[in-house]
Amino acid sequence: MENHEHEISNQAIKTILKKRGFFDDVRVISDILKPIKEAILMLERTYTTLADCYLYLLRIATFFKQMPMNDYRSLKNSCIKAFNER
């Protein structure tokens, strides 16, 4: 950020990027999307079985269950709600 601060002109964006929590939130979202991305890629293969699909659903559910509740309560609840709808 310090090396390229002049490239960002919006002060609100600079404020967000300087906060440490922003990068923690990006990491958590990245961690959420990784098993979902892997499941989608696995489903696109021609040799995928229903057992493979079930295992990936279990991995995603396990990840949501292990998510820290104290910092991301509303995010975790939203993810679990979306997962349960499917």
**Average confidence score pLDDT of the chain:** 77
Contact call for residues 76 and 64 (beta carbons, < 8 A)? yes
Q: What pTM did the predictor assign?
A: 0.58
- Kindly state the average pLDDT of the residues 13-42: 79
The structural domains of the chain, with segments of one domain joined by +, span 10-85
